[in-house]
Amino acid sequence: MQLPEHGANPFKLYKKLGVIPPDRILDFSENVNPAGPPSSVQKIWADLFNKINQYPDPEGEPFITAAENFHQIDRKSLFVGNGAAELLSLMAERYRGKKAVIVHPTFSEYETTLKAKNVDIIRVLSTEESGFKLPMNEIQKAMENASVLYLCTPNNPTGILPERKELIELVHHGAKVNCEIVLDEAFIDFIDESLSFISKIKEFPHVIIVRSMTKMYAIPGIRLGYVVANPTIISEIKAHAPHWNVNGIAAQVGALCLEEAEYREKSIQHSDEQRRNLKAFLETNDCTVTDSVVNYLSFKPGGDRTSRQLHADLLQRGIVLRHSENFYGMDGEWLRIGMKNAEEMAVLKEELAIWFAEN
């Protein structure tokens, strides 16, 4: 059976499987900040009603200025979009009819958007045996016959951040073989902004960085993301976008979010604490766990226990984990868990402990 391709929307998953949803559902399949949107957003929410009868700024103000100041870059290197998903779709047009290298397992939207533009996909696999580290030689060889390399940094679903020296090596190789590099930094906020490649954009004009406001700031419902790249590339991406592609409410909320330094710091600390605790718990119960550095991790049960059975059994008990059926290289053998608040994480560990004891 074909399961939904993304996390979240648990009722869609229950319906697809023909399972009656229990009264209590805790959704660990999505990886949005459990803190919810910053309090500053809630405080101005009523005032945002006035934005409904106004056309939004075509450039995404006030968000584009906020992002320009936040990253200390020229606004000509910025393009604001209706979420990272839209941006990936717009960027795919750039590679229509060409070849793209994608390192798996990774976010499925890369292949989905590229295939829609008749892009030939060259798959390179990072393996469990290597700890899901980048297979550098294979990647560089594949880049020699491609127009672009897509990398998720940190990776989704493993949560692993490639080493800086590896990224630098790939970027230099890309310049040598005329292969652009797309870095998806949707989860970099959960580590340290200083690890972003944005500061290197002027030095490496063939690098394109995708950022999402959804994950850290818990605003998936209003859709907001942005691309950072060489101004020429930005102009070419923008040429394929519809006018007014970012609504005024999203632009206002996004600008507020970038001011939330204390919120970010607390969120990083919380996700780090919960992830470390969960990793230790899972390893104690004979599970293999990825070396994630963000607000989610992936794992698989040891011995004869299977992820598919665990996933199905927990669904019956109202616990939704992210399957890996559509993560090439994981092929249903792994599960991903997004960090939640302390109370929900305690419930999860309690349910997992029961399952481990019975299986």
CA torsion sign, 316 to 320 to 326 to 329? negative
Separation CA 64–CA 62 (nearest Å): 6
What is the arithmetic mean of pLDDT over 311-318? 95
> What gap in Å lies between CA 268 and CA 254, rounded to an integer?
19
Contacts of 123 (CB under 8 A, 6+ apart): 102, 104, 328
pLDDT band at 16 (very low <50, low <70, confident <90, very high): confident
Structure tokens that stand for 5 in this block: 């391709």
DSSP conformation class of 125 = E
DSSP, collapsed to helix, strand or coil, labels residue 257 as helix
Sequence ranges of the domains in the chain: 10-30+262-358, 39-257
Report the pLDDT averaged over residues 322-346: 96
The top-level CATH class assigned to 10-30+262-358 is alpha beta
Mean pLDDT over residues 343-351, rounded?
A: 98
Please tell me the predicted confidence (pLDDT) of residue 11.
Answer: 87
pLDDT of 22 above 70: yes
Consecutive H or E run containing 357: helix 342-358
SS3 for 124?
A: strand
What is the predicted pLDDT for the residue at 127? 97
| Residue 220: exposure state from Cβ atoms within 10 A (0-12, 13-18, ≥19) | middle
User: Is residue 291 predicted with pLDDT exceeding 90?
Assistant: yes
- C-beta separation of 108 from 5 below 8 A: yes
CA distance 191 to 267: 10
Per-residue pLDDT of 150-207, as tens digits, reads 999 999 999 999 999 999 999 999 999 999 999 999 999 999 999 999 999 999 999 9
CA distance 339 to 292: 12
- Of 3.40.50.1000, 2.60.120.10, 3.10.450.50, 3.40.640.10, the CATH number of 39-257 is 3.40.640.10
Mean pLDDT score across all residues of the chain: 96
Q: Buried b vs exposed e over 165-178: b needs ≥16 C-beta within 10 Å?
A: ebbebbbebbeeee
Q: What type of residue is 163?
A: E
Digit-coded pLDDT (tens) for 197-243: 999 999 999 999 999 999 999 999 999 999 999 999 999 999 999 99
307 in Cβ contact with 289 (< 8 Å): no
**DSSP characters over 132-183:** S---HHHHHHHHTT-SEEEEESS-TTT-PPPPHHHHHHHHHHHHHHT-EEEE
The pLDDT tens digits of the residues spanning 109-162 come to: 999 999 999 999 999 999 999 999 999 999 999 999 999 999 999 999 999 999
What's the pLDDT at 5? 65
